[in-house]
Every structure is written in structure tokens, then in C-alpha cells.
Structure 1
Amino acid sequence: MASFARQLLGVAVVTGAGGTGIGAAVAKGFVRSGCTKIAITDINSKTLTQTKEAILTINPSAKVLDKPGDIADENFVNTFHDEVFRKFSRLDYAVNCAGVLGSKTVKAVDMPTDDFDRLNDINYKGSWLSCRAQLRNMLQQEALPKQRKQRGSIVNIASQLGIVARPGAAAYCASKAAIINMTRANAIDYSDEGIRVNCVCPGVIETPMTTSSPEMAEALKPAINIAPMKRMGSPNEVADAVLFLCSSQASFIQGHALVVDGGYTIN
């Protein structure tokens, strides 16, 4: 993983940071890049603890706030971010990785409303609630020295399917498209405040979400074969893009949807 040392020395928060997926890779990437204060959350307390242990293996002196909870719960989101700000006195980087893919492909007519609500509560509403809480905190602080007037940086995780569509995924595609345009709108609203808001659109990434069942693996094969690189990406490859967007090296990048998909969307 590329090093962004001296660029990521503030306080970071990562949602959806449990396990071995993108969020965990981002959290560990922050610490490898010099960040010594980090807050992480995930709905799964066991995998969240695993991420915390991995962070402390990288840097035993890192200060880690870990709190399990449901990212779709407004009260939890607000309480968690308030605790982050009280503990660390600021918030410089925020990455929203919590998301679900759905257990199977399903067309709109066949999708129960409860499944639709669950998917959007996590993918879109959870990102929206998190962004709102993060922006509130960032507006209370001044820019760090040597950060090119950057008061804060938020990166949301969308998807290649927020840009293009595929069969049997209408609700998922819509939830990720919503994240992209939410990102753009927040970027417009808070540029004058010195806050950058961008998103990353991963392709098929090798995570527990994409390898959870034979049915899911079979459903993803066409997407892998369409992409010119013809392979799954790794969480670390997405994390590298996220860390770049957080850093001052991306100081003139605002409201961008960075595609990390092995070329899927160019076909």
C-alpha cells in the first residue's frame, strides 16, 4: 500500500470498519500513513475488535475509539460522532464504508419493501446520517497546519453500479447513485467552508460481502469478465484511492467520483 505519511496526521473516523473488507483496509491504511488517532465503528462488535487489534499491531501507541452500532440509527450516528469529537477535539478525515449488497439478485417487481428499506437504510441513509454528523464536527474546527486550508475531508464509498447498472440490482444501483449525487451536493455546499467531499466507486472487490455464498460468486462472474483486468480488486487497492482523496495531495479535487473498477465502466 502506498504511504501518505506526513499527509494524514490528523484524526480519522471510519464507518463499516469491521472484518476484512474495505473499511478495515482504510482504517489500517490511515494508521500506516501516520494517523495516530482513529475512531472506528461497525455493526459487528467481534469484527470491529479484530480491526482494532490489527491497528494496534501496526502502531501500539495509536489511540483507537471503537464503538459497535447500527449506521442507520440516527441516535447512534450522532452519539458516536459526538464522542469522537469530545475524545479527540477534532475530526480531519471521515470515510463512510458501511454497506450491504443484498443476498441475491432480484428485479424490482420481486423485491419486498422490507428488503428495499434495509438496503437503503444502510447504503444511503447511513451514509447521509454519517456525512451530516461529520460535517457538523468539521465546521467547528480550523484547518490543520500544512493542510492547504483543508478543514476536513470526507470520502464516501459508492460503487461502479452507481454509474452504470446491471440486471437484478435496481435498488442497489439506486442507493449507490444517491451516494454519488449526495457527495456532489455536499461538496458544493461546503467548499466555502474548506471541507472537501468526494467518493470512491469500487468495482467487484474481494470482501466477505462478495464471497459470502456460491450464488453471489456466480452472480458476480459476468461483472468480473466484463472488466478489462478480469479480476476482483482488493480492499487495499480501494483504500489507496481513499487515502489519496483524504490527503492534501488531492487538495483541488472536490465532488469527484473516483472509479476503482479494473476498467468495468469503460466497456
Structure 2
Amino acid sequence: GVFLCCKYAIPAMTANGGGSIVSISSMSGVRGVGYSVPYAVSKAGVIHLTTVAASQYTSQGVRINCIAPGGVDTPQMRGSTASAEAFSGRNEGHPMGRVGTADEIANLVLWLASDEASYVSGSTYIIDGGAWASAQ
């Protein structure tokens, strides 16, 4: 997935003067949550791939960053809960009283891909409404 996209996109980007790659990981890649070792390890790999690739290609004009979202209100998340009550229960323990939206994640992707973030490369952004900070 992410490796192959980088493998083929980076040469084209460097040949055209640069570009921006924004990979999507997960909070599971930052801290394992215990329910899926393969998932957590693969998401940690995305974070480290981002860091290493940025260290190699930022000087060639390719900015590479990563987003590690926490819970996001998506059909997949809603489908993983047995009922509306179970879904709303996820919100009760959250510092903001809710999970994020897909638009909130997309807005961060948009900013990182834009010229407004021209000095940003090699970073991973946790976007979880303060859940990670509150757990520490």
C-alpha cells in the first residue's frame, strides 16, 4: 500500500520539482490497543516509513507527512458497534465528548498537502481530540 505508492510517486515528484505525500496511519500505530497486533504493527510501519522517506527525499522537494487519527465517525466504525447506544458510549469517555469526523481528518490532509505547510516534512500528526494527551 503506502510503500508501493511512495516507490512509484516519489520519482515522478522529484522529476517534476517536488510534491507532497500524506500517509494515513492510526493511533494504533502510536500505541497498541491490544485487539489487533498485525494492524498496530502495520500502522507503526507507516509512521516509520514516513519518517525515513522524508529524511531521504525532503531535500529533493518531496514533503512526506503522516496522520494518525483516533476514532472517526465512519460507516465502518458505526458498523463495528452493536447498537446506537454502544456507539454513543464511545463518546462518553472521550475528552471532547465525541469522536472525530472524516471532514476533520480531510482538512488536516488538505493543509499538509498545500503550500501553507511548505516547511512541514517528516512529521506524524495525532488527530484524536485530545484522547492521547488525556491518557498520559
Q: Which amino acid aligns with 1:238?
A: I
Aligned to 1:191: 58
Correspondence list, 1:206-245, <5 A: 206-215=73-82, 218=86, 221=89, 224-245=91-112
Correspondence list, 1:247-258, <5 A: 247-258=114-125
Larger Cα Rg: Structure 1 or Structure 2? 1
Q: Quick one: structure 1 residues 213 and 152, their matched pair in 2 at CA, closer, same or farther if it must change by over 3 Å? A: same
What CA deviation, in whole Å up to 9, does each residue of 1:194-245 have, x standing for no partner? Answer: 11000111111111221224359859955x4443112121100001111111
Report the structure, 1 or 2, having the larger helix content. Answer: 2
Aligned to 2:128: 261
Distance in 1 separating the partners of 2:88 and 2:53: 32
Q: Which amino acid aligns with 1:246?
A: A
Distance in 2 separating the partners of 1:136 and 1:231: 40
Q: Which amino acid aligns with 2:100?
A: G
Q: Give the percent of matched residue pairs that are identical in Structure 1 and Structure 2.
A: 34
The alignment yields a C-alpha RMSD, in angstroms, of: 2.1
Say if 2:84 is the partner of 1:205.
no
Q: Which amino acid aligns with 1:231?
A: R
- Unaligned segments of structure 2, at least 5 residues: none
Which runs of at least 4 in structure 1 moved beyond 6 Å after TM superposition?
A: none
Q: Using the TM superposition, give the Cα deviation of residue 261 of structure 1 relative to its aligned residue in structure 2, in angstroms.
A: 0.5
- Unaligned segments of structure 1, at least 5 residues: 1-125, 143-150
8 Å contact from structure 1 (residues 203, 233) kept in 2: yes
Structure 2 length as normaliser, TM-score?
0.87
